[in-house]
Each structure stands twice: as structure tokens, then as C-alpha cells.
Amino acid sequence: MAMTEVTIDSPAKVAWRRFRQHRIAMVALAVLGVIVILCAFAPFFSGYDPLGLNMAAIRQPPSADHWLGTDTLGRDIWTRTLYGGRVSLVIGLAAAFLSTIIGIVLGVISGYFGKWADMVVMRITDVVMAFPPIIIMLTVAAFTGPGLVNVIFIIGGLRWPPTARLVRGQILQLRDQDFVTAARTLGLTNAIIITRHMLPHVVAPLVANITFAVSLAILTEAGLSFLGLGVPLPTPTWGNMMEAARDLRIMREEPWMWIPPAIFTLTTVLCINFVGDGLRDAFDPQQLIGEK
């Protein structure tokens, strides 16, 4: 029997091919790559110590020595922006990771097991969502005190409800699919049915959700730090560098102190959102069907 060799790409491969056609998302991914490299390898791009004070060079505008100027304590702004990016990005990723894990676990419990488990989880979700997040964060931060780990836990611990709802909805739909019923008649354990048969189907809608969670976490960190409840000084983050703008004189007359972290934050969040858009389109099953 003559057979033509047909290769079928895995869903991930198809998604990547489609993602590459999304021009804005590709540009955003490149910009994001540059920012991540700059921050991750900050020592290669700057000769200064981010914490090194220099009283002889305070409040200096951008110059050949200090590309983006110095702050009120004579620290190099460019250097602090790069090192601050490390902290902001770590917080963004870690908090999004944490909220995604919590969201998946709770979403699965409530969607798969239903009944009272669903009741309990969804009521907790409602309660968490009912409070304005910034108020809770301020309250919690006031009790736990500022600090990197605390910020991650505060953001991660409060941003999971949308993820939990998304996962719950997906699991509810999947639970009635024939292949899940079939898996049950084959005597597979709940753990295997959930992890092997259901969660792979949740990945696509979740991927976009995760990227948005990262950008939201970065913004939230900036907000908390701006209010002095995030990562404490002198460790730089984009948020606490922007805190300088609370001084009206600095805001007006020495904008080099707050504009760089602001631009980095804006660019990063925008790029992550564009990438998220691209991923969402790439994984969209409706469009996958239409493709040859």
C-alpha cells in the first residue's frame, strides 16, 4: 500500500506558527527580550553600584558619566532602573505564578468536584473579589510590613479569583465531554483524569490569562511601592523609584529621576499585553479549525 507521509504538528507547534504571524506580538516579544536581557545582565550594561551613594554628584541631569542622571543621593538612575527591573520582573513573574497555581487548584476543585466544594470555593472567590484589591493590599501590607516576599504573596494571594473562575468554567465544560466520561469508565483516577485529560485543554485559554497576570502584578507592585508599602528602600524597583515623583519639585524640574522607570514599566506592561493578545489569538480553537 502506497502511503504518503503526513506529518501532523502538535498543537503547540501550530500555535507558535500562528504567533509568528502576529506582527505586533512579535515586536513586543523582541522588545521584552531586550528589557529582560538588560535587567538580567545589568552589571554588563552599567559600571555603577545601584546602592552606591555619591554626595559629590546629586541631582545631576543626564550626562556622559550618568546617562540618565542621578537621584537625590547621587545614585546612577540608569543603573538603578536596570537593577530595579530585576526586582519588578521577579515580582511580576512570581506573583503571577503564585496566583495562577492558586487559581488552577481552586478552579479544578470547584469545577470537577462540584457540590459543596464548588459552593465553598466560589463563595471565597466572591469575598476576595468583593473587596477593592488595593484596599486589602494596603491593609495586609501595613500588617506584614514591606518586603519582596510579602509583596509577592500579597499580589499572588489576591489576584487568583479571575484565574479560578476561568479554570472552573473550562473544567465544567470538559467534565461533560465524552472523552472525560470515557476516561471514567476506564477506571482512571481523578488525579490522572484532571492532570492528563483535562488540564491540557485548559492551557490555551490560560496562557493569555497568565501574561495579563504578569503585567497586572508588575503594575500592582509599582502602585504598592509608590505608596511606600512595596519593596523598601534602598533596594530599587520601578515602583519605588517613581516614588520620587511624589515630590512636586522633582516631578516638574528633575524628571530624569522618574521618567526612566515609568517608561520601562509602561513598555514592559504594554509588551506583555501585546504578547498575551498574540498568544490568545494563536491558541484560539475557533481559528485553529479554520486553518489548513
Partner 1 sequence: MAAQLLLSVDGLTTSFGRGPDKVRAVADMSFDLAEGEVLAIVGESGSGKSVTMRSIMGIIPMPPGVIESGTAFFDGADLLAIDEENLRRLRGKDIAMVFQDAMTSLNPVLTVGRQITEVLEEHLGMTGKAARDRAISLLDEVGIPDAAHRIDEYPHQFSGGMRQRAMIALAIACGPRLLIADEPTTALDVTIQAQIIDLVVGLQTSHDMGIVWISHDLGVVARIAQKVIVMYAGRVVERATVEDLFDAPAHPYTIGLLASLPRLDQEPGEHLDSIPGQPPNASSLPPGCAFAPRCPLATETCRVEVPPVITVGDGHHAACHRLDEVRRREGRLPWT
Whole-number minimum distance, CB 64 to partner 1, in Å? 57
Q: What SS3 class is residue 138?
A: helix
Per-residue contact track with partner 1, 214 to 253, x per CB under 8 A?
----------------------------------------
Separation between Cα atoms, residue 277 and residue 241, nearest integer Å: 29
207 binds partner 1 (CB under 8 A): no
Name the amino acid, one letter, at 226. F
Stretch 2-61 residues interacting with partner 1 (CB under 8 A): 6, 8, 11
Evaluate whether 25 touches 19 at the Cβ level (below 8 Å).
yes
Separation between Cα atoms, residue 122 and residue 110, nearest integer Å: 7
Whole-number minimum distance, CB 208 to partner 1, in Å? 18
> What cell numbers appear for 268 in the block?
514592559
270 binds partner 1 (CB under 8 A): no
Name beta bridge partners: 70: 76
> What cell numbers appear for 188 in the block?
482512571
| Residue listed under C-alpha cell 523598601 | 232
Separation between Cα atoms, residue 279 and residue 204, nearest integer Å: 8
177 binds partner 1 (CB under 8 A): yes
- The residues near 18 (Cβ < 8 Å, ≥ 6 apart) are 281, 282, 287, 288, 291
Whole-number minimum distance, CB 200 to partner 1, in Å? 5
Evaluate whether 212 touches 95 at the Cβ level (below 8 Å).
no
Whole-number minimum distance, CB 100 to partner 1, in Å? 20
Count of residues that interact with partner 1, criterion CB under 8 A: 21
Question: Can you tell me which of 183, 222, 229, 271 binds partner 1, judged by CB under 8 A?
Answer: 183
From 56-64, 83-91, 129-137, 194-202, span contacting partner 1 (CB under 8 A):
194-202
Question: Can you tell me which of 143, 187, 289, 292 binds partner 1, judged by CB under 8 A?
Answer: 187
184 binds partner 1 (CB under 8 A): yes
197 binds partner 1 (CB under 8 A): yes
Binding residues for partner 1 (CB under 8 A): 6, 8, 11, 176-179, 181-189, 192, 196-197, 200-201
